[in-house]
Chain A
Amino acid sequence: MSNGLLVSSPVEAIIRLDLMFAAISSTASYSNDFTYRAGWDQDDISLRHVWDSPAKGSPHLQVEFLPGIHACLNAILILPSSLQLHMKGPLKSSSPLAFRILSGSTWRGQNVEPPTLTFLSKKLWELDIPFLVCRSYGFVGYLRIQFIEHTVIETHPDNQISDLRLDVPFSELKNHIDAINLSSLEYKDHAHVPYLIILYKYLQQWRQQNEGRLPKTYKEKESLRTLIRTDVFLTTLNYKHILIQSKSFWIMAKAMRDFVDNEGKGFLPLRGSIPDMTAETSRYIALQQVYHNQASKDAEAVFRRAQQLLHQLNQPSDIITETDIKLFCKHATDLHVVRGTSVADEYDFKTPNMQNIAAMLENPESTMIYYVMLRGVDRFYSEYNTYPGEFDDQVEPDIVKLKACVSKLLSEWGCGPLAKDDYVHEVCRCGAAELHSVAAFIGGCAAQEIIKFITRQYKPLNNTLIYDAITSNTATFVF
């Protein structure tokens, strides 16, 4: 295998970072989705620098970030050959986009050792800086993210349930719908009525017949459906960016809580959107406007409460803007908070939840086995200063040694012995080789997670990913 292959993994992670920063810097705003704009100067990207640099085969890669990014980004890159910290700017957490990356890749004879990892883990935990560890070892990929707390407003759920309030209509909605008299409409006009209105009308009718209750059981819901189906017009009708700091997140959360307890009467602020439905444009827009207006009113109330809180906390009033609050309210049903754990604690065998590992290992096919193997490899390296199977004539004896290392680890964790040796053989067979495509897979995942952290959109990985490239499976574990 060529030298270029061995150094590919730190490069891989860097490439992903560069592409991503290029995307950020070229997009005026990224509150919606990642879109790129064809306008930025392609040749400025440091990815080109990495790729075009003459450093063929050399693991010493100097990475330059775009000037615009440089100001808000501090990167740590551990280049495996030297284990030197290449820092741009001092370690501090005050900058809004401060985010440091450790590309810790196994490189023949130059692993990022547990002592280094633990040191960095502790340091970065104290500074509240997210910390990423990547490994590519034979057919196994590993990605670990350390962070104290991460809050997300825009989680972009795949299937979002509409927030319509037909059961507890706000007064404007009630007035809007009550003003529409279905029976006075022309036959053809029925096809233009948004189905929400029809659903609401029949729900009211059902409740009148059922002591004001909402249909709860399947049978009750079915009777409502039957009621709607009896409609004479049935055949014609179509029934059928902003980065918000964690602190302001919690102030907004408190403001929303106060809203729920007061103006909201137990409900979250209205989202203010309705699903697409067949309807005449003007009718649809009118109904949409009703929801939008109510959502604006709710958001205004939350905003007032947030301002009160800021005042009480002696904070400047501009750290939470009306736009922030609107975004927060719009995503009120899908807010996400995740709290992380530190790598240092994970490596201190007294603290982590080892029952979890034991339970997982009861299934001999569990991907957890590869986590155990990687930890076994670390143990092997600390004892023998080589990697198992690194030298062709040592593969057989290394199998026995690695098995012993893994057994020691498992007994320290209070787990039973391994059910079979196949994985030990596989790890020794690869001899610490780094497959470019496995590194590329992990590099891609790492870049994606970093995008999620920086933009505070989408739910990030919590907190460990193991990639088994033999079967092309992944598994996520929390340590």
Chain B
Amino acid sequence: MVSRAGGLGCELLKDLALIGFKDIHVIDMDTIELSNLNRQFLFRRKDLGKSKAEVAATFINSRIPGCNVTPHFSKIQDFDESFYRGFHLVLCGLDSIVARRWINGMLISLLSYDDGELDQSTIVPMIDGGTEGFKGNARVILPGMTSCIECTLDLFPPQVTFPLCTIANTPRLPEHCIEYVKVIQWTKENPWDVTIDGDDPAHINWIYEKSQERAAQFGISSVTYRLVQGVVKNIIPAVASTNAIIAAACATEAFKLATSCCMPLDNYMVFNDLDGIYTYTYEAERKEDCLACSQVPKNVYIKKLDMKLQDLIDYLCEDSAFQMKNPGLTVYTDGKNRTLYMSTVASIEEKTRFNLKKSLLELGLKDGSQVMVADSTTPNTVVLSLKFTPPSDVVMI
């Protein structure tokens, strides 16, 4: 199964089909846009607006005889465990960390244990690729056996790049406006008939002013001179050849796992061809208390007894080990489940909002209390065990 038919996904589908895989499914909820065409080579101009998954599948099926690609014009989250259990391998050409975490959680939820022993026949290996400019990585995850996405969550840098379609059509952030002026407006108007010099204050100032105009059109605020400079000097374009290289490395791993002709990558390769061609391959280690692949409740040490519920939620969103988006918290006390806070359902949010200002003690939580957390980054519930008396060598919140 290939999740997403984008820059990496097109390469993956072509590689898998040419290497001899006959039955491939592809999931993508996006439609084809003009800016995709330079590197997503299974698409043509006539395909604009159509489903990426469907066009990619049709292309491969007609070009490579004997290969049968089944498209799913849907979100990865639209399918349940029974769907994912049906695959031997899952390859990811995803562009977001949240989606990776979701697939990772889904594959971990397929595992079953007999007397605490992992039933290896329930493992669906995940092969994950990612690229950014001239850098990329490929990794093999055997859920329950080797390190998973959550084990190494701290490896992901904060995301700073923006797809061209967002810049052109749906700007949300001040960065999007700046990128638009830089990529499109400068090329059109070219005020000094030169290329942009990120160190020339006059250039930056021009972009700054135009970005402000564009931001005003879209009602976006806080375009600053500093931000303009940061964006102008730090663009990371999608590089077709990096996608090709990373997808090829992933396809090789799929071939190895499917045929057992040799050992799979163990388990993480980073790639960088800014200066020559450099790779580094190492074994990323499992985290013993990983939120996803170990079933042990995660200890959270509380320093301040008057800590508010809002502080706990902020911690879950900001801490590098959690990086949650919109956590919903419930607690099991006195034989019943009680919702402390949930932002995703408006009516519940309204009823639980006042809890945010209460301290954990006021909410009846004590040392050893277990809090269940649901979040869009994982299909599973994360169990936190609150510790008010920490060992001396841990950082407390």
Q: Which residues of A contact B (CB under 8 A)?
A: 1-2, 4-5, 8, 15-16, 19-20, 22-23, 26, 28-29, 31-38, 40-43, 47-48, 51, 56, 139, 143, 155-158, 241, 271-273, 276, 281, 284-285, 288-289, 292, 295, 323, 330, 435-441, 443-445, 447-449, 451, 458-462, 465, 469-474, 476
Question: Which of B118-126, B191-199, B312-320, B364-372 lies at the binding interface?
Answer: B191-199
| Chain A residues closer than 8 Å to B194, beta-carbon distance | 323
The listed residue (B164, B184, B196, B241) touching A448 by CB distance below 8 A is B241
B84, CB-defined interface residue at 8 Å: no
The residue of chain B having its C-beta at the shortest distance from the C-beta of A323 within the complex is B194
Number of A-B contacts (CB under 8 A): 192
Given contacts A5-B18, A34-B237, A281-B226, whether A440 and B242 have CB atoms under 8 Å apart is no
B388, CB-defined interface residue at 8 Å: no
A42 & B201 in contact (Cβ 8 Å cutoff): no
The residue of chain A having its C-beta at the shortest distance from the C-beta of B43 within the complex is A42
B244 & A440 in contact (Cβ 8 Å cutoff): yes
- Mind listing 7 A-B residue pairs with CB under 8 Å? A32-B198, A33-B237, A38-B164, A51-B41, A323-B194, A437-B19, A472-B269
Cα A158 to Cα B39 in complex, Å, equals 25
Question: Which of B146-154, B211-219, B276-284 lies at the binding interface?
Answer: B276-284
What 10 A-B pairs are tightest by C-beta distance, nearest first? A444-B244, A440-B248, A444-B245, A441-B248, A437-B251, A273-B199, A436-B18, A448-B241, A437-B252, A472-B265
Cα A474 to Cα B270 in complex, Å, equals 11
The listed residue (A26, A158, A241) touching B38 by CB distance below 8 A is A26
A460 & B276 in contact (Cβ 8 Å cutoff): yes
Cα A1 to Cα B18 in complex, Å, equals 9
Given contacts A440-B15, A444-B245, whether A289 and B201 have CB atoms under 8 Å apart is yes
The residue of chain B having its C-beta at the shortest distance from the C-beta of A443 within the complex is B244
| Chain B residues closer than 8 Å to A469, beta-carbon distance | 249, 252
Most chain A CB inside 10 Å of its own CB: which residue of B138, B184, B247, B279 = B279
| Chain B residues closer than 8 Å to A438, beta-carbon distance | 248, 252
A440 & B183 in contact (Cβ 8 Å cutoff): no
Cα A315 to Cα B45 in complex, Å, equals 47
Given contacts A330-B199, A470-B262, whether A440 and B38 have CB atoms under 8 Å apart is no
Cα A441 to Cα B225 in complex, Å, equals 41
| Chain A residues closer than 8 Å to B265, beta-carbon distance | 471-472
B237 & A35 in contact (Cβ 8 Å cutoff): yes
A37 & B249 in contact (Cβ 8 Å cutoff): no
A35 & B183 in contact (Cβ 8 Å cutoff): yes
| Chain A residues closer than 8 Å to B235, beta-carbon distance | 32-33, 35
The listed residue (A271, A288, A471) touching B281 by CB distance below 8 A is A471
A47 & B41 in contact (Cβ 8 Å cutoff): yes
| Chain B residues closer than 8 Å to A155, beta-carbon distance | 275
B357, CB-defined interface residue at 8 Å: no
Q: How far is the CB of A365 from chain B (nearest CB, A)?
A: 12
A36 & B38 in contact (Cβ 8 Å cutoff): yes
A474 & B244 in contact (Cβ 8 Å cutoff): no
| Chain A residues closer than 8 Å to B243, beta-carbon distance | 444
B80, CB-defined interface residue at 8 Å: no
Question: Which of B60-68, B101-109, B325-333 lies at the binding interface?
Answer: B60-68
B117, CB-defined interface residue at 8 Å: no
B49, CB-defined interface residue at 8 Å: no
| Chain B residues closer than 8 Å to A35, beta-carbon distance | 183, 235, 237
| Chain B residues closer than 8 Å to A4, beta-carbon distance | 18, 64
B240, CB-defined interface residue at 8 Å: yes
| Chain B residues closer than 8 Å to A38, beta-carbon distance | 34-35, 37-38, 164, 168
The listed residue (A20, A29, A158, A436) touching B195 by CB distance below 8 A is A29
Cα A23 to Cα B241 in complex, Å, equals 11
B18 & A32 in contact (Cβ 8 Å cutoff): no
| Chain A residues closer than 8 Å to B281, beta-carbon distance | 471-473
B276 & A476 in contact (Cβ 8 Å cutoff): yes
B134 & A458 in contact (Cβ 8 Å cutoff): yes
Other contacts beyond A292-B199, A448-B134, A472-B279: 18, CB < 8 A: A4-B18, A5-B20, A34-B239, A38-B164, A42-B44, A47-B41, A157-B275, A271-B199, A273-B198, A288-B201, A323-B194, A435-B19, A436-B19, A437-B249, A462-B276, A469-B252, A472-B253, A476-B278
| Chain B residues closer than 8 Å to A273, beta-carbon distance | 198-199
Q: How far is the CB of B240 from chain A (nearest CB, A)?
A: 5
B38 & A472 in contact (Cβ 8 Å cutoff): no
B339, CB-defined interface residue at 8 Å: no
The residue of chain A having its C-beta at the shortest distance from the C-beta of B237 within the complex is A35
B262 & A472 in contact (Cβ 8 Å cutoff): no
B224, CB-defined interface residue at 8 Å: yes
Given contacts A436-B19, A440-B11, A448-B241, whether A473 and B279 have CB atoms under 8 Å apart is yes
Contacting residues of chain B (222-260) with chain A, CB-CB under 8 angstroms: 224-226, 229-230, 235-237, 239-245, 247-249, 251-253, 255
